[in-house]
Amino acid sequence: MTVDVDVTQETEAKKGSSLKSIAVAWARRLLLVVVVAGAVWTLSRNWNTVWDTLKTLPWGSVLLSELSVMVGIGIGVMAWRTLVEDLGPHVGVFRCAQINLVGSLGKYVPGSVWAYLLQMELARKAKVGRARIFTASLVQVGLALVAAALFGVLAMPVLIDKFPGAIFFAVLLPVGLLALHPRLLNWATNKVLKLIKRSPLERPLHFRMVGEALGFQIVSYFFYGLHLWVLVDAVGAASGLTGLLLCTGAIAIGLNAGMFVFVLPSGAGVRDGVIVAVLLSALPYGQALAFAVVSRVMFLIADLTTAGVAALLARWRVPLPAATA
């Protein structure tokens, strides 16, 4: 009788868990539909202004802007690689690029956790510790937040009139820099690893590694900002250093805001909304929306292109070792 009761309870628990998973999955789909529908509605209402803006963009500026995104992605990989290489044995730039870039495509699936899971699976096949890859990605998120806060502070003189809340970045930056102290970072990282039942760090994080990775991340965001500024400057708006700081702040804040809305693919709607809101300090709504849309498409093209190139180079230059269990 006891066995039958236990089996019944286990069956009911599995059924409840299954129903919960189905409900969450459908909730994500519904949220995605709402976001896409809202984006389409907004775009259709402002289509004339958006199309007029897109028609004025010279091809040279579009190509330079796309190249800036790809350079930014490449430098972001170098930030991640700095962490991976210092946390364990040598992996190599081509294999690191493959794991990072191909794995990052998982962000386009609702629930950004897929990017980390895909990176760890690629790492397993390359005989690289999955906890090590997860740790590098986790620390890079912290670095990205600090880099975004830095550009938020630099853009604050431009934003403060229309967005008084921008003063928040003046507080976030010193707090973020303090949180990057190796002693605190090692403690927090080990707590997270313990929570997911992984071994603690084999090699502790240190100042040189964190500083080097942060430097790469800052340069990466600069090129992302340059990508947006090249487009905006092509229509004669937000030019000069002020415009560059505005665009860099918009893209850095938008990318990080979208990262926190993990139930949506690549922060759909959130990142674009932030970019539009920031650009409104210098542009009409229709133009700001046009640039947000173009930026989204350019990032998608750059992500697919760099991931494809990284996969081909890794296959060509570094034979894949036998997978481990």
User: Is the Cα torsion angle 124, 130, 134, 137 positive or negative in sign?
Assistant: negative
Q: What is the mean pLDDT of residues 215-239?
A: 89
Structure confidence at residue 22 as a pLDDT band (50, 70, 90): low
Q: What is the mean pLDDT of the chain?
A: 78
pLDDT bin (cut points 50, 70, 90) of residue 317 is low
The percent of residues in the chain predicted with pLDDT above 90, rounded, is 15
289 closest CA partner among 65, 61, 55, 42: 42
Q: What are the tokens at 206?
A: 């240190």
Residue range 81-96: mean pLDDT, rounded: 87
pLDDT tens digit sequence for 258-287:
665 554 555 556 778 888 888 887 788 888
Lowest mean per-residue pLDDT among 83-87, 89-93, 104-108, 176-180: 104-108
pLDDT value, residue 74:
94
Unique residue bearing structure tokens 């189905």:
22
> Which of 108, 109, 132, 111 has the alpha carbon at shortest distance from 120?
132
Residue 194 in contact with residue 126, Cβ under 8 Å? no
For the segment 176-202, what is each residue's pLDDT rounded down to a tens digit?
888 889 899 889 888 888 887 777 887
Q: Hunting for tokens 């230059």 — which residue is that?
A: 317
Q: Report d(CA 256, CA 62) in Å as an integer.
A: 24
| Predicted confidence (pLDDT) at residue 242 exceeds the cutoff of 50 | yes
* Reported confidence tier of residue 71, pLDDT bands at 50, 70, 90: very high
Residue 87 CA, chain-centre distance (Å), reads: 21
Q: Are 201 and 183 contacting, i.e. CB atoms less than 8 angstroms apart?
A: no
Burial of residue 133, with CB atoms counted within 10 A of its CB: 0-12 exposed, 13-18 middle, 19 or more buried: buried
Which is nearest to 209 in space by CA: 99, 305, 115, 79? 79
pTM metric for this prediction: 0.80
Q: What is the pLDDT confidence band of residue 5, given thresholds at 50, 70 and 90? A: very low
Residue 49 buriedness (CB in 10 A; 0-12 / 13-18 / 19+): middle
pLDDT-derived band at 313, boundaries 50, 70, 90 = confident
3-state secondary structure 89-137: CCCCHHHHHHHHHHHHHHHHCCCCHHHHHHHHHHHHHCCCCHHHHHHHH
pLDDT computed for residue 70 by the predictor: 96
**Using 50, 70 and 90 to split pLDDT, how confident is the model at 29?**
low
Is the per-residue pLDDT at 303 higher than 50?
yes
The full set of domain ranges for the chain reads: 1-45, 47-317
Q: What percent of the chain has pLDDT over 70?
A: 73
